[in-house]
Amino acid sequence: MIHDPLEDLPGYALRRVSAAVMAKLAEGLSRLDLRPAESTVLLVIGANPGVTQSEVGRLLGIASANMAPLVARLADRGLIVREAVDGRSQGLTLSDGGRRITVKTRSVVDELESDLLARIPAVERAAFLKVLFALARDQDD
């Protein structure tokens, strides 16, 4: 057996777990023809009708250069509607079709999140989640 010099590294463990979760998410979303980044954008717009794409990008940590084609694709598919709020910003709203697909998206996401939670022993669950969310909030800089 070969030795794994990375097995004690929390950063590497985070990377592997995250990659596995993302792979499952991508697979679950594929039947909706949605990519992970698109699904999060839909969820944020659904929860905040009228947000601008720059606000969405800031919340999700997606650069504006990458938001542009992403939002354009969602608009081209008729999932979201863009309405000018001033001369340079557009408020984003889900269309009826967008709402339907967002409901399905949420169920895909929720199922994966449940699977993940189920794999965390109940004893450590609270501590694990507390640290994880704290780290995630921390990262917002």
Partner DNA sequence: CCGTATAGCTATACAATATAGCTATTCATC
Partner DNA sequence: GATGAATAGCTATATTGTATAGCTATACGG
Q: Which residues bind a copy of itself (CB under 8 A)?
A: 2-7, 9-22, 25, 40, 43-44, 46-48, 51, 55, 59-61, 109, 112-113, 116-117, 119-121, 123-125, 127-136, 138-139
- Pick the closer one to a copy of itself by CB: 3 or 31: 3
Count of beta carbons in the 10 Å neighbourhood of residue 36? 15
3-class DSSP assignment, residue 93 = strand
The beta-carbon contacts of 21-25 under 8 Å, at least 24 apart in sequence, are 21/112, 21/116, 24/112, 24/115, 25/108, 25/109, 25/112
Q: How far is the CB of 74 from DNA (least distance, A)?
A: 10
In the complex, which residues of this chain contact DNA (CB under 7 A)?
A: 19, 23, 26, 35-38, 52-55, 61-69, 71-72, 86-90
